Structure formats: C-alpha cells, structure tokens
Amino acid sequence: MKIIIFLFSFLVNSQELKKTFLTLYSDNFAVVSQNYFYECRKGINEVVLIGMPKTIISDSFSIFVPKDLSLISCSYKIDEENHINQKVEVLTEDNTLIKGTLLKDGDPSVLIDENGNYITLNRKYIKYINYGKFNEKDYRRKIKNAASVLLNMNSKDTKICSFNLNYMINSIGWSCSYDAYINEDETSLDIKAKINISNNTGHDFKNTSLMVIAGSVNRVEVQNQLFRTMAAKSISDSSFEAIGSEDIKPQSIVEQYSYTLPSDNISLYDGENVSFDLFSRNGIKFEKYYVYKGQIDTWYFYDVIKNYRYDKKLTVNFIFRNDKQNSLDIPLPQGKVRVYKKKDGFMFFAGEDNIKNMPVNSKIEISCGKAFDVEGERKIVEHKKILPNVYRDTIEIKIRNEKKEDIKVKVKEYLWGRWKIIESSNKYTIIDANNIEFDIIVSKGSSYVLKYIAEYDFNN
C-alpha cells in the first residue's frame, strides 16, 4: 500500500500533517519536529512524503512510532538532473555568485571549474545551483517540492496511525536586533528587542510552534567549504513584517537560553523575513563616554621606533548595566543595536553596534561612531632599552575638548609582554592581562594631559 502525504495540507482518508515544532538557531539551521496521522493497513505500509525541501541534512532523520507500529526503513531523495560538465551559476548562503563548469555534484561537496580555478563548495553553504541565467523566481520555484522521504513501516492493525518525524534543515535561522531610543537630556534610553527570522528552505511552514535558541552549539564542520573569496552579490529580500506580542521569557536549556513564541499557529513562508517582539524596557539609565584608543600598530617596535602612528579620533559610547535596578535583568541574545534620538518630532540615527550574548548583571557598551569637537594625541616621549628584550616607554596622551560641556573619557591602552607601570599621573583600571583604562574628565574648551611610564619584558 502506498500512501502519499502532501505536506501542510489536509488529505483524504484522514491523512494529515497535524503539527510542526520548529527550533531555530542563529547559525542558519533548525531542528524540525512534525506529527503525522495517516490511515494505515495491517502489514507493510509505504508512506511517501513529497514536497520536502532540498536543504534537509540527509543523515539527520529520526522517526518515533508507537508500539503497534515499527519502522523498517527511511530514505531521502533529492530530485536532481545530471548537469556534469555544464555551465552553472552557484549562489551561496552569503549571496556570493560563482559561475563556471560543474565537475562534481555530490554530497557533501560540489566542484566547479571557473576559468581554470577549481572551487570546492560545501553543500551546506549553497543556497541554489542554477543551470542557466540566475533568476530568483526560478530559484524559488525549483527549490520547492524538490525532494521526498520514503518510509516503510509495519503495522499490527488497520487503523489511524501516527508517527513523529524529526530532522535538521539548513537555510533558516534567526537573529536578534535592538532599537534604542535616547531621551533628550541623554540620561536614559528605551529599548525594544526583536526576533528576526529568515526562511530560505523552500518550505512554507504552517500551523507551527516556534522556539529560538541563543548561544553556540558545536557542529562538525566539513573542511574546505569555499577556497576563494569573492565579492557578494545580493538578491532582493522579501518584505519585513512586524508582529506584536508580549515579552517573551527566556528559559535555560543545557548551556543556551530558549525563547518560545507565544502563538502556536505561526506561518513562515519561503523567502520571508518575519519579526516578533521579544521585549521592551523603558528608562534604562546609562552613562555617555568618549573612548580614546590612540594605538594603531598591532606590534611592538622594539629597537626601531620609526613612523610612529596614532589615531586622533574618539568614539561616542553608551554604557549601561543589565540588572534589575536598571529595569533589565534578562539574558540578552547577541545582535545589532541601533541607536536613535528624537528631537522636535524628527528621529535621528546616532549609530549602531553589535553586542555579544550578555548575561544578567553584565555591563553593556555600545559604540556609536566617531565624535566631533573632540580630538586625541598619543606620543611616545621617551623609548629606552633597559636590558636585553626589556624596554621602557614614556607615554603622553592629550585629549582636547572643544565642546560646550564637560565630557567623560575612557583612555584605553594595550600593554605588551610582561608589563608593569613604573609611574602614572592618573589612576588606572586593569581590564585583563594586557589592557588598562584611565577614566578622566575633560572640561569644556580645554585640554587634558595624562602621562605614564610602562616597562615591557619580552624574555620567556
């Protein structure tokens, strides 16, 4: 008996996909769990699930059946034509377009000859292979209904049977983004956090419950994913839809945090980007700092100090605490923070920065770009060799403030080797093994000079 189940639709003979649970990761993959019902007969049943996407990880299938039903075999097939030695265009997950002759089309890799340059691509990072001129509509059409799953099961009785199908799938993922709105006197801000989901699997997921996972998981990578760097070529994105909701509460799972969306009947269409509100918080207190990192060179000059360079610019940074006293007290997934300020009805974009996964009671620092009317100068006043591989530098840093108000400045310095501060005009804070910070206040229309002597020991 052969039973064909069309995904995401109700069928005759009580055959249906009852429910889909989708667990999304920020590394552009997801775990899919689907509950099926179908009318089975006593004996061997062949169940064909057609319309499965090509982006399923083929060895990730697991099927759970009740005691009166046993699984004999499961096979996954991608409907492919043979295009070896033909001209192709390959679009990768980062929208890199590669043109050449197809030499190998297998799993886990594809080999392309691009004018004598042989490029090996891991299939996991291929969005689409086109055998003619690239067309996004053609890509959407061909990637859908491109694979099938065949299940052979043995049933003890004739009745309505059920089974649970699980698999991993690429080309779907999520990210977090934050919109921060600064008040006019620049003492507090409001934050709105969003979950953004992108579906490029070739599937229209319907009647779906969604969970997103914040944190990194270990995955075994196949080496030699792409042996060349190319300029990315973008294709147009679908419309971005915003869906309102209450705060989504995080739950701890293993070493990650999970966020379950409140609705259990969500639709995610292929090629669609959808946003869901994660939370919003008002009145978050922050401090505005100007940060100066005068060092440009990432090496020490030892005995030859020539062409010494330094950066004149300072950045504008906002620092706040993620704690209960500051109206937050929630694990913050990594993502992009966009900072805005309203004035006289206009909305101004102040800048944007990325944050890492930030636990509760952590300090969050957002850099919004270069500052006006403030400039820095970093000089090595004296450079001495004390002993073999031991050097002593006298550093002078000058901050000039042309603004009409006093400013707070963090001067960040990197120290080399086994270091020690011999003398300093200001107190400093040790951040880690090689970084220190000076906190100073520079009055309006004036300059501030700090000076310190550091000794570096490069002996093992």
Query: What pLDDT, on a 0 to 100 scale, did the predictor assign at position 9?
Result: 31
Predicted confidence at residue 202, as pLDDT, reads: 81
pLDDT of amino acid 168: 95
Top-confidence residue, 196 or 16: 196
How distant is the alpha carbon of residue 424 from its chain centre? Answer: 41
Assigned CATH class of 287-331+361-457: mainly beta
Lowest mean pLDDT among 25-39, 80-94, 298-312: 80-94
Which runs of consecutive H residues, i.e. helices, occur in 260-306?
none
The whole-number pLDDT of residue 238 equals: 32
Q: Would you state the pLDDT for residue 142?
A: 57
**Percent above pLDDT 70 for the chain:** 85
Domain ranges of the chain: 2-79+146-170, 87-139, 287-331+361-457
What is the CATH T-level fold of the domain 87-139, as seen in this structure? Answer: SH3 type barrels. (2.30.30)
Q: Which two tokens stand for residue 49?
A: 């699930």
Check whether the bond before 108 is cis (ω within 30° of 0): yes
> Is residue 224 predicted with pLDDT exceeding 90?
no
Instruction: Dump pLDDT digits (tens) for 116-174.
Output: 888 888 887 888 788 765 555 555 555 565 788 889 999 999 998 899 999 999 999 99
Q: pLDDT grade, residue 49 (50/70/90)?
A: confident
| Cα distance between residue 337 and residue 87, in whole Å | 42
Assessment of whether the complete model's pTM goes beyond 0.75: no
pLDDT tens, 196-219?
A: 999 988 888 988 999 999 887 777
Q: Which of 63, 74, 76 is nearest to 147 (CA)?
A: 76
pLDDT digits (tens, 9 = 90+) for 376-386: 999 999 999 99
Higher-confidence position of 40 and 353:
353
Residue-wise pLDDT for 320-379, tens only, equals: 999 999 988 889 999 999 999 988 888 999 999 999 999 999 999 999 999 999 999 999
Higher-pLDDT residue of 345, 176: 176
Please name every residue paired with 232 in a beta bridge, in sequence order, or none if there are none. 96
The answer to whether the Cα torsion of 324, 325, 328, 333 is positive or negative is negative
Whether the per-residue pLDDT at 302 is higher than 70: the answer is: yes
Provide the mean pLDDT of the chain. 84
Does residue 17 have a pLDDT over 90?
no
Q: Tell the residue number behind the tokens 């093992």, with chain if given.
A: 460
Backbone angles phi, psi at 356, to 5 degrees: -85, 175
pLDDT digits (tens, 9 = 90+) for 389-416: 999 999 999 999 999 999 999 999 999 9
Least Cα distance to 147 among 249, 56, 13, 44 occurs for 56
